[in-house]
Each structure stands twice: as structure tokens, then as C-alpha cells.
Structure 1
Amino acid sequence: MRYSEDHKAQTHQRIIEEAARLFRRDGVGATGLQPLMKTLGLTHGGFYAHFKSKDELVETALRHSVEKLGASTRAIAEGEKPLATLIRQYLSSAHRANPGEGCPLPTMSAELGQRGEPSPTTDEMVRNRLASIEAGLGGDEGAADQSVLILSAMVGALLLSRSVSDSELSDRLLKTTRRLLIEQNTDEVAKQ
């Protein structure tokens, strides 16, 4: 049975979206092609009708994540008190609990770096995130350096909060980092 080009494009998009979710949730190495395709009701062999390799899928899925992240970052930037909002949303219990729907940096950047396979797409994601944080700082002197510190603290706190079994410690990592980043980098009083 032959499928239309539209069907192939839809299937291709479904593979990208599911891979992006699983790579963020479980990591690249832990996400096998066969289980990925099975989740979608497709065969392992069908994967190669869409991608040449898993590496190509990783880069495509990461690009998809960057685009989704960019859209949410733009929405935050257009709102009131964008830096405080970004920090609150990033260091939230909802973001911690849903890695498959959140920022890929905590999961994927560590793994890609350990594999010795940094990604130009990760470079773009980090640069975009730094630019949005720097804009939230008002472009003051030292804002470029401060944006690096803020992004590093957010990614690190989220990663640590997901890695501990003690729920109180996990909450403390998020709340303390969130409070200190907001107090030290915005004019707003931290809200808990």
C-alpha cells in the first residue's frame, strides 16, 4: 500500500517530535531507534525512509527543541518582567517533573559533551538563551558575563534537582537558586 507524500511528511514530523521528547526525557544513548519507532506504531526499518542515521535524527530533534524553546522565550520576553518570569518557569517543579517537554540543555548537552560530539545546534540554543537573559538584565555593563552565570545556575540547579531522590532537597535546589537569581538580578522582590 502506497502512502501520500503528506502522510510521509506527517510521519516524519511525528518521529521528530517523539524523538525530541524522549531525548530530553531519557537521553540520546538510552533512546533506541526500535523502541522509538514502536512507540509510534512504526517499524524499525521504516526509520531509514526518513533519516540516514540516528545522529541525523538527534540533530533534527535538537533543532526542533530549539525552535520550541525559541517560541516560548519570545513569549516570555514580550511579557512583564521577562527575566524573573524566565527564572521562575525554568526553575519550577513543573519543569523539573516534565523533562520531555522542557529545555533540552540539562539532559542532552551533558550527554553530547561526554560523547565528544558537541552540536552546533546546542551552540545556537545557548547563544539565544544568553541573549534573552542579557536583554532581561537591561544590557548593563557586565550583563554578558552575568547572563552566563544565570544560565549556568539555572541549568545546573534543574539538573541537580532531577538527580536527587530527596524531594525536600530537590525543592530546595530549585527554590534557593530561583530566589537568589531573582533577588540578585532583578528589581523585583522574589515571590515564592
Structure 2
Amino acid sequence: MEERMVRYGKEHKQETRQRIIDKAGRRFKRDGLDGSGVATLMKDAGLTGGTFYAYFASKDELVATAVADQMRAQHANIVAQAAPGRAGLEQIVRWYFSPQQRDNIEDGCPNAALLEEIARSTDTTRQAYTDGALTLIDDFAARLAPHDPPSARLTALSLLGMLAGTLQLSRALTDRHLADQLLEQGIHNALALLNTEQHD
């Protein structure tokens, strides 16, 4: 009986910790890594600021963990769910450059929302991002060149950069028509990159 209560306690703490990570990831994408203090992040999760250190040693630890979680979720929920091969890459590109994805920052891509800030973050956060980015890149490369994924790794990296950079620019423009045209051009450019790889 006592053992079951302890196990429930651990599971409950893990579930609460994950809730904090989920809410923080959404908040970071919307307001930036420095846009919210611990009290706000904990309030988002329905907790008091004073309980933060029961779950994380520092805000930096939460930032790195949330970045890793956002990258993992993007891979699991979008990239891994796409059709196999190049058809799946085209699906991913078209989803990525949709106005809905662009306009929904909280639920959207962590690359486009946080890349510039991650570059100025701690080594731990940058490593968490790098690990997640490499998972995406390796998935892209395996779709591009199933028999020799390493040969397509640089193209996959270029695709990730093209996706994030184009989306960042589209979000920054106040001219909605131009921003939408940029997304359409982004689809064209990304598919042209993928076709170039196919002919190499």
C-alpha cells in the first residue's frame, strides 16, 4: 500500500514537471526565452512560483528542457507522421509554409520562433537544440537518399535553414499579402532544392 502511494507520487511529480515543460515551451515561443519569469511560467502550469525548484534547478535548466521537448514534439507530431520518402518531405514543406502554421506561434515550429535566441543561449540550451535539429536533419536526409542518408545531410540542413528563415521573415512582415506570397515562394524554393538533390 505504501509503495503504491510513493509510486503515484513519483508519477504525479513527473506529470506535473511535463506540464510545466509544455506550458513553458508554448510561452517561450510566443514571448521569447527571456520574456517571462519563473512566476509566470509556473502560473501557466497552474502552480505557484515557490514550487519551481522542486522540479528544476534553474530557469536555464527549464529553458534547455523545453527547447529539447519542443524539438522532439515537432519531430514526433509532424515529421515522423508524414508520408514516407520525398512525398512526406513535400507534405512537411507545405504544412510548414501554411499561413495557419505561421500565424499560430505557440503551436508552431520552435526553430522559427526561437532560433535567434537559442544562438545566444547557454551551451546546454544550444546542445538541446542541436540534438533536436540533428534528428530532423537525419529524418530529412533519410527521405532524400534512403540508400545513403549521409550524402543528403547538407541538403537536409539547408532545407531546415530555408524553412526557419523564410517563416521568420514572413512573420516579421506587416504586409500580409507579401507575407503570404513569401510562403508560396518558400514552397517553390524548398521543392526546387529537393529536386536538385534528386538529380545530383
Could you tell me which runs of 5 or more consecutive residues in structure 2 were left unpaired when the two chains were aligned: 1-7
What does 1:130-169 correspond to in 2, within 5 Å?
130-138=137-145, 139=148, 143-169=152-178
Deviation at 1:156, TM superposition (A): 0.2
In structure 2, C-alpha distance between the alignment counterparts of 1:39 and 1:163, rounded to whole Å: 26
In structure 2, C-alpha distance between the alignment counterparts of 1:94 and 1:162, rounded to whole Å: 11
In structure 2, C-alpha distance between the alignment counterparts of 1:45 and 1:141, rounded to whole Å: 47
What does 1:7-18 correspond to in 2, within 5 Å?
7-18=12-23
**SS of alignment partner, residue 81 of structure 1:** helix
Corresponding residue for residue 34 of structure 1: 39
Number of positions where the alignment pairs a residue of Structure 1 with one of Structure 2: 185
Q: TM-score, normalised by structure 2?
A: 0.81
Corresponding residue for residue 128 of structure 2: 121
Could you tell me which runs of 5 or more consecutive residues in structure 1 were left unpaired when the two chains were aligned: 188-192
In structure 2, C-alpha distance between the alignment counterparts of 1:54 and 1:160, rounded to whole Å: 29
Relative to its length, the structure with more helix (as a share) is 2
In structure 2, C-alpha distance between the alignment counterparts of 1:123 and 1:8, rounded to whole Å: 28
Say which is worse superposed, 142-151 or 88-97, in terms of deviation: 142-151
C-alpha RMSD over aligned residues:
2.4
Deviations 1:162-189 (A, max 9, x none): 11111112112211011222144249xx
Q: Does 1:21 align with 2:26?
A: yes
What does 1:1-192 correspond to in 2, within 5 Å?
4-71=9-76, 72-78=78-84, 81-115=87-121, 117=123, 119-138=126-145, 139=148, 143-186=152-195
Deviation at 1:141, TM superposition (A): 9.3
In structure 1, C-alpha distance between the alignment counterparts of 2:149 and 2:88, rounded to whole Å: 16
Distance 1:136 1:4, change over 3 A: closer
